[in-house]
Chain A
Amino acid sequence: MTTKLFGEPVRRREDARLVTGRGRYLDDIGAGALAAAFVRSPHAHARVLDVDVDAALDVEGLVAIYTYEDLTGPLAEPLPVLIPHPQLHAPRTGHPLANGEVNHVGEPVVMVVATDRYVAEDAAERIAVTYEELPAVVGVDAAREARASVHAEIPDNVAAVHHQETGDVEEALRGSSRTLSFTQYVERSACMPLEGKGVHARWDADDSSLRVHTSTQASTSVRAAIAAKLQLPLDQVEVVAPDVGGGFGVKIVHPWPEELLVPMAAIALGREVKWTEDRREHFISSAHERQQRQEIRVGFDDDGRLTALDVHIWHDNGAYTPYGIIVPIVTATQLVGPYVVPTYRVRVESVYTNTVIVTPYRGAGRPQGCFAMERTMDRIADALGLDRAVVRERNLIRPDQFPYDHHLTFQDGRPVIYDSGDYPGLLGKLTALVGWSAAGELRAAAAERGKLLGIGMALYVEGTGPGPYEGGHVQVLGSGKVLVSTGLTSQGQGHETVFAQIVASELGVPIDDVEVTTGDTRRFGYAVGTFASRAAVMSGNAVALAARGVREKALRIAAEVLEAEPDDLEIEDGLVQVRGTPGTSIPLRTVAVLSNPLRYAFDEAAKQATQFATHDDSKPPVAPGDAPGLEHREYFSPLRSTFASGAHAAVVEVDPQTWEIDVVTYAVVHDCGNVVNPMIVEGQVHGGVAQGVGGALYERMAYDADGQLQNASFMDFLMPYASEVPDVVIDHQQTPSPLNPLGIKGAGEAGVIPGSAALASAIEDAVGRRITSMPISPTELYDLVRDPGAERTAASARRAGAPA
Chain B
Amino acid sequence: MKPAPFRYADPGSVAEALEVLAGEEGAKVLAGGQSLLPLLSMRLAAPAVLVDLNRVPGLDAVEVTEDGVRVGALVRHAELLAHAGAARVQPLLTRATANVAHPAIRNRGTTVGSIAHADPSGEMTAVLALTGGSVTVAEPSGERTVGWRDLFVGPLETSLPAAAVVTAAAFPALPPRSGTAFAEVSRRRGDYAVCGAGVVVTLDGDRRVAAARASYVSVGPVPAVHDLTGAVAGSPVEDADWAAAGALARTLVDPDGDLHASADYRRLLVGVLTERTLASAAAEAAAKATAA
Using a CB–CB cutoff of 8 Å, the interface residues on chain A facing chain B are 117-118, 121-122, 125, 278-280, 657-660, 698, 702, 710-711, 713, 715-716, 718, 720-721, 723-724, 777-779, 782-783
User: What 6 A-B pairs have minimum CB-CB distances, sorted nearest first?
Assistant: A779-B265, A723-B189, A278-B1, A118-B2, A657-B272, A779-B261
Q: Which of B3, B4, B189, B265 sits near A778, CB closer than 8 Å?
A: B265
| Cβ proximity bits B53-80 to A, threshold 8 Å, 1 near / 0 not | 0000000000000000000000000000
User: B188 to A777, Cβ gap below 8 A?
Assistant: no
A280 & B1 in contact (Cβ 8 Å cutoff): yes
Which residues of A are found within 8 Å of B2, using beta-carbon distances? 117-118, 121
> In the complex, what distance in Å separates the CA atom of A718 from the CA atom of B4?
28
A711-B259 in contact (CB<8A): yes
Asked if A782 contacts B189 (CB within 8 A), the reply is: no
Closest chain B residue to A37 by CB distance?
B2
B185 touches A721 (CB 8 A): no
Q: Could you say which of B42, B261, B265, B272 has the most chain A C-beta atoms within 10 Å of its C-beta?
A: B265
Complexed CA–CA distance, A702 and B257 (Å): 14
Residues in B whose Cβ lies below 8 Å from that of A702: 259
Contact A658 B188 (CB under 8 A): no
A698 x B188 contact (CB < 8 A)? yes
Interface residues on B, range: 20 to 34
A711-B259, A718-B187 known; A125+B272 contact, CB < 8 A = no
B3 / chain A contacts, CB cutoff of 8 Å: 118
Residue of A nearest to B261 (CB): A779
Given contacts A122-B4, A711-B259, A280 and B42 within 8 Å (CB-CB): yes
A713 to B189, CA, bound (A): 17
Jot down 24 A-B pairs with beta carbons below 8 A, ordered by A. Answer: A117-B2, A279-B1, A280-B1, A657-B272, A658-B269, A660-B185, A698-B187, A711-B259, A715-B191, A716-B260, A718-B191, A721-B189, A721-B190, A723-B189, A777-B187, A777-B260, A778-B261, A779-B194, A779-B260, A779-B262, A782-B264, A782-B265, A782-B268, A783-B264
User: Residues of B contacting A280 with CB < 8 Å?
Assistant: 1, 42
Residues of B within 8 A of A279 (CB): 1
Quick check: is B43 within 8 A (CB to CB) of the other chain?
A: yes
CA distance A710 to B191 in the complex (A): 17
**What residues make up the interface of B, taking CB atoms closer than 8 Å to A?**
1-5, 42-43, 185, 187-192, 194, 259-262, 264-265, 268-269, 272
- Are A723 and B188 in touch, CB under 8 angstroms? yes
Residues B261 and A125 in contact, CB atoms below 8 Å apart = no
In the complex, what residue of chain A is closest to B2 when comparing beta carbons?
A118
Q: Which residues of A contact B189 (CB under 8 A)?
A: 721, 723-724
- A713's nearest neighbour on chain B, judged by CB, is B42
- Which of A659, A723, A777 contacts B190 (CB under 8 A)? A723
Q: Whole-angstrom distance between the alpha carbons of A702 and B187 in the complex? A: 15
B1 engages A721 (CB within 8 Å)? no
* B211 smallest CB distance to A (angstroms): 25
Q: Kindly list 19 other residue pairs between chains A and B, CB separation below 8 angstroms, not including A715-B192, A779-B260.
A: A117-B2, A118-B3, A118-B5, A121-B2, A121-B43, A125-B43, A658-B185, A716-B259, A718-B187, A720-B188, A721-B188, A723-B188, A723-B190, A724-B189, A777-B187, A778-B265, A779-B261, A779-B262, A782-B262
| B1 to chain A: closest residue by CB | A278
With a CB–CB cut-off of 8 A, which chain A residues contact B185? 658, 660, 778
Closest to B275 in A: A657
Which residues in B have their C-beta under 8 angstroms from that of A782? 262, 264-265, 268
B259 touches A710 (CB 8 A): yes
Return the contact of A122 from the options B5, B264, B268 (Cβ within 8 A): B5
Q: Report chain B residues within 8 Å CB of A659.
A: 265
Q: Tell me which residues across on chain B come within 8 A of A718, comparing CB atoms.
A: 187-188, 191, 260
Query: What residue of chain B has the Cβ atom nearest to residue A117's Cβ?
Result: B2
Q: Whole-angstrom distance between the alpha carbons of A782 and B190 in the complex? A: 22
Residues in chain A near residue B261, CB distance under 8 A? 778-779
- Cα-based distance from A660 to B184 in the complex (angstroms): 12
Other-chain contact of B188, A117, A122, A710, A724 (Cβ < 8 Å): A724
Using Cβ atoms and an 8 Å threshold, which residues of chain B touch A723?
188-190
Complex interface: chain A residues within 8 A of B4 (CB): 121-122, 125
- B58 CB to closest chain A CB (Å) equals 33
Residues of A within 8 A of B260 (CB): 716, 718, 777, 779
Q: Which residues of B contact A710 (CB under 8 A)?
A: 259
Among residues of A, the one whose C-beta sits closest to the C-beta of B189 is A723
Bound-complex Cα distance A604 to B194 (A): 71
Q: Hey, which chain B residues are within 8 Å of A122, CB to CB?
A: 4-5
What is the CA–CA distance of A777 and B188 in the complex, to the nearest angstrom? 11
- Once bound together, how far apart are the Cα atoms of A118 and B264, in whole Å? 43
A279, A658, A660, A716: most-surrounded residue (chain B CB, <10 A): A658
Q: Which residue of A lies closest to B192 (CB)?
A: A715
Q: Once bound together, how far apart are the Cα atoms of A724 and B190, in whole Å? A: 11
Chain A nearest CB, measured from B21 CB (Å) = 25
Q: Bound complex: CA of A724 vs CA of B261, how far in Å? A: 18
Residues of A within 8 A of B259 (CB): 702, 710-711, 716
For A120, give the chain B residue with the smallest CB separation. B2
For A722, the closest partner residue in chain B by CB is: B189
Question: Nearest B residue to A718 by beta-carbon distance?
Answer: B187
CB distance from A74 to the nearest CB of B (A): 32
Residues of B within 8 A of A715 (CB): 191-192
Contacts of A783 in B (CB 8 A): 262, 264-265
**Which residues from chain A contact B264 at a C-beta distance below 8 Å?**
782-783
B102: shortest Cβ distance to chain A, in Å?
A: 8
Residues of A contacting B272 in the complex (Cβ-Cβ under 8 angstroms): 657-658
CB-CB under 8 A from A724, the residues of chain B are 188-189
Q: How far is A777 from B265 in the complex, measured between Cα atoms in Å?
A: 11
Q: Give A280 to B41 CA distance when docked, in angstroms.
A: 11
Q: How far is the CB of A288 from chain B (nearest CB, A)?
A: 16
When distances are taken between beta carbons in the complex, the residues of chain A under 8 Å from B268 are: 658, 782
